[in-house]
Homo-oligomer: A and B are copies of this chain.
Amino acid sequence: MKNKKCSHAVRRACLPVRQAIVLLSGGLDSAVTLYYAKKRGFSCSCLIFDYGQRHRKEIESAKKISRLFDCKAQVINIDLPHKGSALLDKKVKIPEHARTYGRVSSIPVTYVPARNIIFLSFALSFAETLSAEAIFIGAHSHDYSGYPDCRPEFYREFSRTIAQGTKAGVEGKAVKIYTPLIDKTKAEIIKLGISLGVPFQFTWSCYQGKKRPCGKCDSCYFRARGFGEAGIDDPLLVGSR
């Protein structure tokens, strides 16, 4: 592993810097994940994906967070060969939150086919090139909107794919996927973020790209419930009042 060495005068006292790729969406989960990865001692490079989502607010949020965090960030354009999701196709209405979540049988229209597999593939390619040892992604299954690619089962399988399908993998140095939020509730994620100093006022969760969050979509619902359960005012809403 080619890790950067520190410039400390007494080199023996210093460990090599561990490199990680962090997937940054502009939402609160990935922001917490970025701050967590740093806390764990990783030097982070962020990937932000422009995949034709119906609004650019989350991309702008992601860029702002990476600037505040003072880490490298690259926007990757994803040229999807379809518009098979309400998040991509403006003709499809974003549904209001009115479902019992957590059941795989109720995968919503906001599901983007294979989205996290695509994102992780790019991150993997980048990680292997940089000899980074880790990829961090803020997926979690507690209130995961029914997305199959937010479940631990998926990440376990993808890790096995990495071990078999990459040079680093077959050489016994497979890039590791970290999902530090996977079993946490939204309230727990928010509390963790507060303890890490995450600037939640600059994160964006709403599926709509309007001036203010719609307050009705799944993503707004889970965010509001999370802040409510954590007993904290959402600084995004406080700031826009």
Contacts and interface: CB of A to CB of B under 8 A. Distances in A.
Contacts of A47: 81
Interface stretch (A3-11, A70-78, A94-102): A70-78
Interface string A160-180: 110111110110000000000
A117 B177 CA distance: 15
Interface string A90-118: 00000000000000100100011111111
A49 B161 CA distance: 21
A124 to B, nearest CB: 4
Copies in the complex: 2
B165 A116 contact: yes
Interface of A is mostly: helix
A129 interface: yes
Interface in A115-151: 115-118, 121-122, 124-126, 128-130, 148-149, 151
A118 B151 CA distance: 20
A169 to B, nearest CB: 7
A154 B158 contact: no
Nearest to A47: B81
B161 A161 contact: yes
B125 A167 contact: no
Contact of A165 (B74, B125, B154, B167): B154
A15 interface: no
B115 A82 contact: no
A117 B175 CA distance: 14
A41 interface: no
A84 B148 contact: no
Contacts of A121: 114, 117-118, 121
Contacts of A167: 107, 111, 113, 148
Contacts of A115: 125
Contact of A154 (B77, B122, B124, B164): B164
Interface of A: 47, 74, 76-82, 84, 104, 107, 111-118, 121-122, 124-126, 128-130, 148-149, 151, 153-154, 156-158, 160-161, 163-167, 169-170
